Amino acid sequence: MAEANLEDLLARTALGDRRAFQKLYDASSAKLFAVCLRILQDRAEAEDAVQDAYTKIWRYSERYSAARARPMTWMIAIARNLAIDRLRARKAPGAALEAAERVADGAMRPDERAMASGEAKRLLDCIRDLGEAQARLVRIAYFGGLTYAALAQRDGVALGTVKSRMRRALASLRGCLSR
């Protein structure tokens, strides 16, 4: 998505526009997740960091200034800082005990676990239904944690090409999952 579009979405988010915020999330969440995953090396923690990042983006979107940073740069900085804070918390004294308490409190009930595993199976089935190239791209980006830029460099193609391919793959996945 073009920087101007992201700026517009951030401005509308600052006014409390939930649809704009959803579009902002759709346009940027993969990138923010990849950044957090690369730092934390733990999928669940990266997902939590991304959720925290979007909470912060929602709250502080009115503070965004196009004169100081591009929209994606600003959002990545928020996500990166939260991920680094989580990494530091892991190493803090007593962090293991706190983490154990969080896990015990947040454990899924058997019915929640069954639903989550069913959704995961459905997602994997939909990924298998994609063409080989699209499935590979999605797996590497989301499960492998590579950024679009890293994928472009790895495959020797333009960044825009990777973004277009990913957009088509995600549209196919959305279609499959909505059936």
Domain positions in the chain are 3-92, 109-178
According to DSSP, residue 95 is labeled H
Q: Report the CATH number of the 3-92 domain.
A: 1.10.1740.10
Residue 103 clears pLDDT 90, i.e. is over it: no
In this structure, of 33-37, 88-92, 104-108, 152-156, the range with the lowest mean pLDDT score is: 104-108
> 141, 30 in Cβ contact below 8 A?
yes
**pLDDT tier at 104 (50, 70, 90 boundaries)?**
very low
Encode pLDDT of 143-176 as tens digits: 777 788 888 888 888 988 889 999 999 899 888 8
CATH 1.10.10.10 fits 109-178, yes or no: yes
Given its phi and psi angles, is residue 94 left (phi above 0), alpha (psi -120 to 50 degrees) or beta? left
Rounded CA gap, 160 and 11, in Å? 25
> 137, 173 in Cβ contact below 8 A?
no
Residue 114 clears pLDDT 90, i.e. is over it: no
* CA neighbor of 141 nearest in space, from 24, 2, 27, 31: 31
Residue 130 or 102, more confident: 130
Taken in order 104, 109, 115, 118, the sign of the CA dihedral is: positive
Encode pLDDT of 40-55 as tens digits: 989 999 999 999 999 9
Encode pLDDT of 57-74 as tens digits: 999 999 998 888 899 999
Residue owning tokens 């995953």? 37
Q: How does the average pLDDT of the chain come out, rounded? A: 83
Residue owning tokens 């019915």? 111
Pair of tokens at residue 26: 């759709």
What does the pLDDT average to over 137-142? 84
Q: Please indicate, yes or no, whether the overall pTM of this predicted structure exceeds 0.75.
A: no
Amino acid at 19: R
